[in-house]
Amino acid sequence: MYKSTPHEETLATAVVNGAFAVHKFLGPGLLESVYERCLCFELAKRGVPHARQVRLPLVYEGVEIAHGLRVDLLVDGLLICELKAVEVMVPLYLAQILTQLRLADLHLGFLINFNVERIKDGIRRVIRS
């Protein structure tokens, strides 16, 4: 079982607190891209390094495949956030972030759905062992 570092925990706390702030102000019902931009704003206010829509190289049988993958949010190169604004979370979304973590060789991520009444119901911490 993977044990996160203190720095990863600090980043995780910033992500969760940022998601709470964004959802408290905006509420549910907007596009994913709006929440993504606002969460990035919150992370910037907290001095947390991050990047939006980061290209994740896809190497298949030793060959990099063009037009690989993108992750919604990469926090300090250590944590992936997959953001959603959907009515129903489906198992595919969990598989998506687990695959992203594996391909990036990272262990900690968050699957966040902003289209919920209470944001605590929309945040899922994901650990890749």
What is the per-residue pLDDT for 30? 98
> Where in the sequence is the domain holding 104, given as residue range(s)?
6-127
d(CA 32, CA 30): 7
Closest-CA residue to 37 (of 58, 53, 57):
53
What is the per-residue pLDDT for 66? 82
Q: What is the pLDDT of residues 36-88, one digit of tens each?
A: 999 999 999 999 999 999 999 888 999 988 877 899 999 999 999 999 999 99
Q: Does 1 map to a domain?
A: no
Closest-CA residue to 97 (of 120, 74, 63):
74
Q: How many domains does the chain have?
A: 1
Alpha helices in 3-126, H assignment, sequence order: 6-26, 32-45, 91-104
d(CA 97, CA 93): 6
Percentage above 70 pLDDT, the chain = 100
* Total-model pTM: 0.95
CATH number at residue 64: 3.40.1350
Sheet holding 50-60, edge to edge: 50-60, 63-75, 79-84, 108-113, 123-127
Q: What is the pLDDT of residues 3-20, one digit of tens each?
A: 999 999 999 999 999 999
Q: Does 32 map to a domain?
A: yes
